Amino acid sequence: MKFDDKVPIYYQIKEYLYHQIVTGTLQPGEKLPSVRQLAIDVTANVNTVQRALTEMLSEEIIESQRGKGNFVTTDVEGIKQLHNKLVKEQLTLVYQQLHALNLSDDEILSEMKSYMESRDGQHE
Amino acid sequence: MSELLKIEKLNYSHSLKSILRDVDLTVDSGKIVGLLGENGAGKTTLMRLITGSAHGKGVITVAGASKIAERKSHVSFTEHLGGFSGGTKVGRIFDFYQAVYPDFNVARSNSLVDFLQIDKSLKLSAMSKGMKEKLIIALTLSRQADLYLLDEPFGGIDSMSRKKIINSILKWKPEDSTMIISDHYVTEIASILDEIIVVKDKTINCHKQADEIREDNDMGIEEFYESLYEGGDQDD
């Protein structure tokens, strides 16, 4: 995994796993790899991975089963909320940046629309 | 998490020249620590003082042991394969380690040799820089120690070897043990570090959590490290 060295690593690991959960790469109820395996997968150390997991546990997106490891929550509603939260985070970012370029709300909408249309054109 | 390494009021001079002065340092167990500093800052010297192959004034305690003979048994440090001649076969070096160190773990050693693709039939003199560094990692981690010291393991090696070395650290470092890795270029290992220690102006200039640096200073580890040298006066 490629890290941004300016952002705390535990936070990036958390975001990476959340992304896998909301996109279904990690399914509800699926077992997560062991802490050490995750550390090797993303190239971080076990303490940092553990910190990311501890936050995910307290946010109830994963559950720990004693002696068995960590599992993605089966609470689909919770995953949906997480998905909404991630979408909102991205939208906030884009909105703030376009606003900083002096675009009004209407202009943001129309710019976004024409951007998506031009992308569609590229795909076909 | 408990205190694994404690250095108190350490001073070291060589040929009347002060190399390290008033070093105080505490490192907990279970950590991976980057030991940073310019070439000649005293990183290797500090490692040699910790193992007891150099002698300074002050107290160094590893896993509760401060006498050199006891301390040595807790520390795994392979200093540049200095004791072996170029004609020595790699397999012989492993045999030697197994004979000398009671904490040598044969199963782990074999896994490391496999993973790092070390050819035991080669002579030391026939090995490239990258192969030698892999050999040093394998030997160092073959021991079941409390403290592992790696002295610039990434100097002048290709990126594939570097990845393999980093992965073998993550895979085989015992969970409660601490590893100190010295380097003068931190970016390549920044993501695996818990904390960094900077040796500058003959002492420990800075000791910080890696994620704390990112969180508080909004900068990368390399950037932070470089910032310590900006506008500073040179000592010698």
pLDDT in tens, B196-209: 999 999 999 999 99
3-state secondary structure of B28: strand
pLDDT exceeds 80 at position A123: no
Instruction: Enumerate the β-bridge partners of residue B147.
Output: B75, B178
State ipTM.
0.85
Residues of B in contact with A8 (CB under 8 A): 211, 214-215
Domain A9-74: top CATH class: mainly alpha
B192 and A3 within 8 Å at the Cβ level: the answer is: no
Q: Chain B partners of A10 at a C-beta cutoff of 8 Å?
A: 211
Find residue B148's DSSP bridge partners. B76, B179
pLDDT at A71 over 90: yes
Span A9-38, pLDDT tens digits: 999 999 999 999 999 999 999 999 999 999
Q: Domain boundaries in chain A? A: 9-74, 77-123
Q: Shortest CB distance from A5 goes to which of B30, B32, B187? A: B187
CA distance linking residue A52 with residue A41, whole number of Å: 14
CATH numeric code, B3-83+147-227 = 3.40.50.300
| Res. B112: pLDDT tops 70 | yes
What local confidence, expressed as pLDDT, does residue B235 receive? 47
* Secondary structure, 3-state, B43-63: HHHHHHHHHCCCCCEEEEEEC
Element (H, E) at A22: helix A9-22
Per-residue pLDDT tens for A91-114? 999 999 999 999 999 999 999 999
CB proximity list for A106: less than 8 A, separation 6 or greater:
none
pLDDT tens per residue, range B6-47: 999 999 998 889 999 999 999 999 999 999 998 888 999 999
